[in-house]
């Protein structure tokens, strides 16, 4: 719809053995899994880049297999975010961007930077990290999302810092990590991690309807009611925002089904 951003949903990765015969058809060759997955959901969070760099031709190949309109989010490498001094990550960042993510073109979504649960908020060092993040590569815009996992980040100063650099704070629906729903960028990034594989769609119908409603509110430029904010008095600009919502629960057997069900509910809600 013209008055709201695009709402996309998917899961983490596409190579997962338990999905064979559950999400993937039993007789689907593994070499066709990416092709199949990118036609069932509208985005995938790439895990492989967190552990090791990929060849530029591999990255470009992912984009070639996906249809127009599909978007990959890319996990930042662990050697970047696991540093004690984040401001010293320049060399690691250079190695990470040697993958040439811009080879995905318009299919490149946000880059997800995950921080360890032990990493505390230190404003000066975190700002030095944000200063290192490039805004574009070969003319392709780079968007950055920050997944923090220590309660010290529940701080208005962190919200203001992320907003100053146009980085999104990841909303984490998790059993232990802090939930920070403050809007700090022109897109939204949410990771739903409390799903249950005993439920065919990982979340109950009522819970899924609630998430669809929240996603629509985000996409229309609002802030959903009832989600925790680190800076509750702050009012972000009301404007349409793209929404990236991933189902990443432990076990994740039903994660693709969750994403598909969520997208159907968003469509039905109009």
Q: What Rg value do the Cα atoms of the chain yield, rounded?
A: 18
pLDDT band at 1 (very low <50, low <70, confident <90, very high): low
What is the helix (H) or strand (E) element at residue 154, kind and residue range?
A: none
Domains of the chain, first to last? 7-269 (3.20.20.410)
Cα 196–201–204 angle (5° rounding)?
A: 70
pLDDT band at 153 (very low <50, low <70, confident <90, very high): very high
The pTM of this model reads 0.97
pLDDT, position 270: 79
List, for residues 90-137, the tens digit of each pLDDT value: 999 999 999 999 999 999 999 999 999 999 999 999 999 999 999 999
Q: What are the CA-CA distances from residue 37 to residues 20, 199, 257 (Å)?
A: 12, 21, 11
Residue 259, pLDDT > 90, answer yes
DSSP 53: -
List, for residues 217-252, the tens digit of each pLDDT value: 999 999 999 999 999 999 999 999 999 999 999 899
Instruction: Give 185-252 as a DSSP string.
Output: SSEEEEEE----TTSTTSS-HHHHHHHHHHHHHHHTT---TTS--SSTT--------EEEEEE--SS-
pLDDT, position 214: 98
Buried b / exposed e along 10-40 (16+ C-beta atoms within 10 A)? bbbbbebeebeeebbeeeeeeeebbebbbee
Cα 69–70–74 angle (5° rounding)?
A: 135
List, for residues 26-77, the tens digit of each pLDDT value: 999 999 999 999 999 999 999 999 999 999 999 999 999 999 999 999 999 9
At residue 45, what are phi and psi to the nearest 5 degrees?
Answer: -90, 115
Question: What is the pLDDT averaged over residues 149-165?
Answer: 98
Q: How many CB atoms lie within 10 A of CB 202?
A: 27
Q: Which residues pair with 169 in a beta bridge?
A: 146
Tokens coding 204: 């109950």
Residue 2, pLDDT > 90, answer no
């Amino acid at each position: 719809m013209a008055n709201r951003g695009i709402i996309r949903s998917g899961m983490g990765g596409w190579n997962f053995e338990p999905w064979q015969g559950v999400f993937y058809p039993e007789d689907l060759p593994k070499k066709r899994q990416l092709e199949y997955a990118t036609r069932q959901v509208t985005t995938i969070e790439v895990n492989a880049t967190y552990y090791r760099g990929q060849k530029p031709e591999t990255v470009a190949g992912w984009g070639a297999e996906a249809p127009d309109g599909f978007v990959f989010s890319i996990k930042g490498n662990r050697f970047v975010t696991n540093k004690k001094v984040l401001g010293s990550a320049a060399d690691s960042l250079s190695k990470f961007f040697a993958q040439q993510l811009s080879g995905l073109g318009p299919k490149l979504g946000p880059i997800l930077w995950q921080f360890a649960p032990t990493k505390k908020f230190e404003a000066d060092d975190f700002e030095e990290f944000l200063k290192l993040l490039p805004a574009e590569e070969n003319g392709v815009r780079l968007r950055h999302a920050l997944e923090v996992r220590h309660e010290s980040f529940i701080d208005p100063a962190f919200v203001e810092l992320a907003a100053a650099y146009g980085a999104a704070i990841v909303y984490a629906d998790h059993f232990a990590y802090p939930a920070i729903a403050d809007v700090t960028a022109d897109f939204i990034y949410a990771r739903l991690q409390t799903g249950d594989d005993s439920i065919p769609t990982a979340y109950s119908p009522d819970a899924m309807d609630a998430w669809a409603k929240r996603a629509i509110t985000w996409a229309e430029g609002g802030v959903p009611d009832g989600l925790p904010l680190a800076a509750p008095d702050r009012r972000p600009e009301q404007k349409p925002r793209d929404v990236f919502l991933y189902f990443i629960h432990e076990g994740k057997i039903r994660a693709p089904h969750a994403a598909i069900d969520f997208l159907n509910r968003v469509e039905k809600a109009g």
